[in-house]
Amino acid sequence: MQNQPYATTLIVDDHPRNRALLRALCDAMGLESDEACDGLDAIDKLASGRIGLMFLDINMPRLDGFGVLEWLRTAPQGLRRPHVVMVTTDDRSETRGRCFALGCDGFLTKPFRIEEVRNAAEFGFGERSMRA
């Protein structure tokens, strides 16, 4: 998965331990990654245009994951939209439905398995969707 254009993975979560875990998994897969502690920080980093995949928590201070998804829908024209995989403890069908309605590409429930993160990265950089 290395040497992909726009190959930076953005990990967005307000809990440092969750970010560290996902970053270690990305490192093990050879993925360049960056971190954001909330939705506003994520939007600042998305402006670089280098994000190809984003693991996005829902419940965060300042701006939650839903807010980031809404921002992406109205993002400046020309900004490359990353594949977005929600990562949350909330596995209710209403939450999943809202995430997909707002444009997410995948959904992982914490605690997740390593294989799920690997599959999400392959889907994200393979230009496919995890909706099926």
Q: What is the pLDDT of residues 104-128, one digit of tens each?
A: 999 999 988 888 888 888 876 664 3
Nearest to 8 by CA among 65, 47, 66: 47
pLDDT tens across 60-77, in order?
Answer: 999 999 999 999 998 888
Q: Are 28 and 2 in contact (CB under 8 A)?
A: no
pLDDT tens across 16-42, in order?
Answer: 999 999 999 999 888 899 999 999 999
pLDDT of residue 124: 67
Greater confidence, 86 or 5? 86
For residue 10, is pLDDT > 70?
yes
pTM of the model: 0.88
Residues 6+ apart with CB under 8 A from 104: 56, 69, 84, 85, 86
